[in-house]
A and B are shown apart, each in its own frame.
Chain A
Amino acid sequence: EVQLVESGGDLVQPGRSLRLSCTASGFTFGDYALSWVRQAPGKGLEWVGFIRRKTYDGTTEYAASVKGRFTISRDDSKSIAYLQMNSLKTEDTAVYYCTRGDTGAFDPWGQGTLVTVSS
């Protein structure tokens, strides 16, 4: 079964950092791009960014709202993708989902991990 599991969500103060992990199973992780999508409480879906597969140079793209603060990386040997979040703001409070894909359809999705930024 293809599965993505996020972890690392927590309560953090504004200005601090946090790293989320997305552990994949059931497919050849290195063959796919991975994206992060977030959903603020009671709001819609917002794309955060993605990392391409290594055969496409493993390059990254980010939404304007997080560019320069968030960094996506991957460890294909462990089938894990990371979302490093720096200089967190209260408006970054959301459930963060990892999902397979980049510019096309996203499938599947993880169960999500909650990040709360508050003093």
Chain B
Amino acid sequence: QSVLTQPPSVSGAPGQRVTISCTGSSSNIGAGYDVHWYQQLPGIAPKLLIYGNNNRPSGVPDRFSGSKSGTSASLAITGLQAEDEADYYCQSHDSSLSGVIFGGGTKLTVL
């Protein structure tokens, strides 16, 4: 059971928009800690997708965006493409656990 809760799976057709939620609590996201998002393609190491809640590293398409409100965060992907099919993870910090926490991951399927 992860401290950050993500839906196990989401899906969408090419060109559509999907969102992935990441729900935490008052000891992590709600305490003001930043949320970061990673994309993990099959058999490959994770790659930073969004940092500091809503910032894209160089090279990440603007189809990817992040937001944060209260004790939750979201990753939005617009104009879905086949190559977006991957696992997505959110990450933050937890003051009660005194450490880094990850969401359980969400598998995105492009129909």
Residues of A within 8 A of B (CB): 35, 37, 44-47, 50, 61-64, 97, 102-112
Contact = CB atoms under 8 A, between A and B. Distances in A.
B99 A47 contact: yes
A44 B101 CA distance: 11
A47 B34 CA distance: 16
**Chain A interface, >50% SS class:** loop
Given A61-B98, A64-B97, A104 B45 contact: no
Given A44-B104, A44-B105, A106 B48 contact: yes
Interface string B42-66: 0001111001100001000000000
Contacts of B2: 44
Contact of A50 (B40, B48, B100): B100
Contacts, number: 62
Contact of A105 (B45, B48, B98): B48
A103 B93 contact: yes
Contact of B45 (A50, A102, A110): A110
Interface string B1-23: 01000000000000000000000
9 contacts: A35-B100, A44-B102, A44-B104, A45-B105, A63-B99, A106-B36, A106-B48, A107-B51, A108-B48
Contacts of B93: 103
Interface in B63-111: 87, 89, 91, 93, 97-105
A35 B104 CA distance: 19
B36 A103 contact: no
Nearest to A61: B99
Contacts of B45: 97, 109-112
Contacts of B57: 107
Nearest to A110: B45
In this complex, which of B34, B93, B97, B99 has the most chain A Cβ atoms within 10 angstroms of its Cβ? Answer: B99
A85 B78 CA distance: 42
